[in-house]
Every structure is written in C-alpha cells, then in structure tokens.
Amino acid sequence: MLEHFQMSAAYNAWANEAVYDAAAPLSDADYRADKGAFFGSLHRTLNHLLVTDRIWMKRMTGTGEAPATLDAILFEDFASLQAARVAQDAHISAWIGTLTDTALAATFTYTPVSTPQPVTQRLAPVLAHLFNHQTHHRGQCHTILTALGRPSVTLDMISFQRHAGKRWA
C-alpha cells in the first residue's frame, strides 16, 4: 500500500508539471477565461487543486495553511501558483515517504469545509481521495487547455510509468 501512495505522489507531481507546462504559454485572458469547468477557468481550477491539497495536508499532518473556502484564490499570478504547486507536490511526496502501514491504517478526525460535522476516517482512503481528486480536476484542466487550442497533454498513469515513473512499471 505504501508503494502505491508513493507512486501516486510521484505521478501527481509529474502530471501537475505537464498541465502547468501546457498552460504556461497561454495569454492571461485565456488563462482566466471561463470555459465552463466546475471552477470556470484554468486559473481558478489550478488554485482549487492547491487549496484542497493544503486543506487535506493540514488535516492529516496538523501543520501548514488551510484555506477556509474551496474556491479561494491563493495566487493571482501564474508563476507564483506554479512555484507553490511544485513546493506542495514535493511536500506531499516527502510526507508520504515518512508513512508506515500502521499510519495508513490509523484514523483521524477532521471537519469538512462544506459541512460542520466532524468525520473520522482511516488515512489510506483519504490519500486515495486526495490523488483521485487531483486527477478529476486535472481532467477539467485538460479540457480547458484543449478548448483553448493547446496541444493534447498526456496524463495517463501508464505513460508516467513508461517514462518518468519506470520504478513503478
């Protein structure tokens, strides 16, 4: 199980880098254009992904920033958001590297942003959600990039395993 989450963290960083590389040449107007995704624009969707990672990491580790809303804009400019994304992905990978099977089986309690009722869950399913959530919204980013005429971004896990993630192939 630990190896699966280590692979997921590495894949997550790789896929985020691909999305940011594809977004970097966009004009500011295109980057901020509402393309009908859940959070509208690429700018807002990328911010949401960073927001939720920070919220979950604060819940799981007890440290770091936890924005109060899921639609918070943490960074207005692309370069700062990209740098924060890289740092967050490194933080996630490093933290997962410290986990044990016992830690994955342990429970923790948190209060969701969307409802005030405390929830107690095992860590492993929450980590699965963290990475699945990233994949879900990266798919929206891919659609936005496609709508803006950017070349297709390869985000398949198997592509990661064949190239940057050969360790897990």
In tens, the pLDDT along 48-57 reads: 999 999 999 9
Is there a contact between 38 and 140 (Cβ–Cβ < 8 Å)?
yes
In tens, the pLDDT along 81-112 reads: 999 999 999 999 999 999 999 999 999 999 99
Q: Which superfamily, per CATH, for 2-168?
A: dinb family like domain (1.20.120.450)
Domain limits of the chain?
Answer: 2-168
